[in-house]
Amino acid sequence: MSKSIFLLRHGQTTFNAQQRLQGHCNSELTALGQTQAATLGASLNRKIANKKQWTVYSSPLGRALETAQIVCTELGIDSNSIITDERLKEFNLGDWEMCFIPDLVKQNPKLLNHRDWYLSAPHCESYESVVTRVKDFLDDDTVPDHVIVISHGLTGAVFRGVYTAMSYSETFEQDLPQNAYFLLADDKLSRIQCEVVTAEAV
């Protein structure tokens, strides 16, 4: 794969802070989430020499778009140029969307024993469905060679897994940072850490 991709997760949201699952539903960035987005954008700004080479793609979900707009501000890129792409959306978490994680754990005390526990949700989108979406994006010749992608926790993990040919278990052993982002280039994955507090809930 010849593309160079900076892959970011959206900043912390109200639901993240409340330990509620979002999936395809949405909640706004918290003040911390806005700071996280700005910090990621500022870090990118230091790494990218020629901003005109890069195109910003975002999941159409509000929390990702809000993050993308903040990142664009830090980069000095017009946020009207953001391209939204359905393939970058988070997993649909079925019947568990908007549920509080502690409530789900009360119902199933062993739930968090598995890193892929999210996919136990009734009517959840399948792993294979998201892999297909990500592969389609990576193989799409209309996507430029230099892109900044703002996506989500689980979809981001699958994105990195597909890019580096991880197994299913390896994919879900990854963390879901909001204080770091990734460069995918030359079939390698590099993590770029930023000094911002993170939250794991998706």
d(CA 153, CA 90) in angstroms, rounded, equals: 7
Torsion of CA 3, 153, 85, 37, to 10 degrees: -80
List the Cα angle 197/137/192 in 5-degree steps.
Answer: 25
Catalytic residues: 10, 90
d(CA 73, CA 68) in angstroms, rounded, equals: 9
Q: Are 171 and 161 in contact (CB under 8 A)?
A: yes
